[in-house]
Amino acid sequence: MLIKTHADGFVHPVASDVTPLAVYQSRRDLIRLMATGAAGVALASWAAREALAQSWAAPGQNAALARTRSNVAGALIMEKVTEYKDASSYNNFYEFGTDKADPAKNAHTLKTSPWSVEIEGLVKKPGRYALEDLLKLSAQEERIYRLRCVEGWSMVIPWVGYSLSELIKKVEPLAGAKYVEFVTLADPKTMPGVGSRVLDWPYVEGLRLDEAMHPLTLLAFGMYGEVLPKQSGAPLRLVVPWKYGFKSGKSLVKIRFTDKQPATAWNKAAASEYGFYSNVNPDVDHPRWSQATERRIGEDGLFARKRKTLMFNGYEAQVGQLYAGMDLKKYF
């Protein structure tokens, strides 16, 4: 039950939506496990994983989870969580093929341990950071975010991680750092798509430093209380919920602080279609299709009703200020 709906799309839960304590605690335990360095290991049997995913996807459950853990800068997502099976079987991860079903089929070859992330560029503390240390760097929490892909599908996912700003603060960017470049793994031995020429590998994305520092920008290690499935970008990825999905780089290996706007993979591939900012914006069409509506994955099958896409994917109250005075048609 919802007690209030704001014009900006955010709603508040009431006590009847509270998750049973046992479910809550089992999730907490999983997250603690992750933080102690068990990432990459299967944390639960398939049956347990499915049960967990079911409980996440049950109508009414996500309300309480949103209240307990997604209150980042006031962004509460109170919508039905996408089912785990949909979120983990309909993916974009071109390193494993261009079909939406390819990553789930092919990503098992990805080796997620050992893993480290190189921090470089205009930063006081550059270096190679082991995944185990990154997991422990800050308290992880669960956050329910919408993510909308440029092709028009969207999902609501309970991610597990912490704000990227926690890591950025630790490594101390220098005064000249204005942008952050995210480089993802490009291993032709384990990633069949890297042999293709659809993109210039490695897959690179970028954010302005203030966007990267925004508390909503999540460094995610898990989803649905589990470590990320490989097709979703294990062992760590970005989730930038007010931007089109492609800004959320998967399987990160390098974070570079720069004074110049990074050249990003999709912008290099088709500059007229994919700008640097790529903020979700129903008023700025993709040159080949409208961005005004979206279809929620798993909702009513093929004939799903279209939903109206919200400005900044519904996070305008939180991030709109970052773009004050900018012409968003020019900086798309």
Ligand X SMILES: Nc1nc2c(c(=O)[nH]1)N[C@H]1C(S)=C(S)[C@@H](COP(=O)(O)O)O[C@H]1N2
Please report where in the chains the tokens 């897959």 appear, as a residue. Answer: 203
Q: Which is nearer to ligand X, 23 or 131 (CB)?
A: 131
Q: Are 185 and 191 in contact (CB under 8 A)?
A: yes
Q: From the CA atom positions of the chain, what is the Rg in Å?
A: 19
Q: Is 82 left (phi over 0), alpha (psi -120 to 50) or beta?
A: beta
Q: Which stretch binds ligand X (CB under 6 A): 46-54, 90-98, 170-178, 299-307?
A: 90-98
Q: Which residue is nearest to ligand X (CB)?
A: 245
Which listed range, 115-123, 134-142, 248-256, 268-276, lies at the site for ligand X (CB under 6 A)?
248-256
CA torsion through residues 128, 133, 139, 141, sign: positive
Out of 158, 245, 298, 314, the only residue in the binding site for ligand X (CB under 6 A) is: 245
Closest CA to 9 of 328, 309, 332, 320: 309
CA nearest 117: which of 72, 180, 210, 197? Answer: 180
As measured in angstroms, the least distance from the Cβ of 149 to ligand X is 4
Q: Is residue 93 near ligand X by the rule CB under 6 A?
A: yes
Least Å from the CB of residue 245 to Mo ion: 4
Nearer to ligand X, 19 or 231 (CB): 231
CB of 170 to ligand X, least distance (A): 24
- What angle, 0 to 180 degrees and rounded to 10, lies between the N-to-C axes of helices 21-33 and 46-57? 130
- Check binding of 146 to ligand X (CB under 6 A): no
**CB of 57 vs ligand X, minimal distance in Å:** 16
Query: Does 145 help bind ligand X (rule: CB under 6 A)?
Result: no
CB of 151 to Mo ion, least distance (A): 6
Pick one of 92, 231, 258, 278: the residue that binds Mo ion (CB under 5 A): 92
Q: Which of 206, 222, 235, 245 binds Mo ion (CB under 5 A)?
A: 245
Instruction: Decide: is 206 part of the binding site for Mo ion (CB under 5 A).
Output: no
53 and 83 Cβ atoms separated by less than 8 Å: yes
Closest CA to 44 of 54, 161, 294, 191: 54
C-beta of residue 101 within 8 angstroms of C-beta of residue 90: yes
Q: Judge whether 198 and 98 are in contact, CB under 8 Å.
A: yes
Phi, psi of 264 (to 5 degrees): -105, 155
- Considering beta carbons, is residue 62 or 91 the nearer one to Mo ion? 91
Binding test (CB under 6 A) with ligand X, winner from 61, 70, 154, 251: 251
- Residues in 45-74 at the binding interface with ligand X, rule: CB under 6 A: none
Three-state DSSP at 4 gives strand
* Cα four-point dihedral sign 286, 291, 296, 298: negative
Answer for which of 250, 254, 295, 296 binds ligand X (CB under 6 A) is: 250
Residues making contact with Mo ion (CB under 5 A): 92, 149-150, 245-246
Residues making contact with ligand X (CB under 6 A): 91-95, 149, 184, 203, 232, 245-246, 248-251
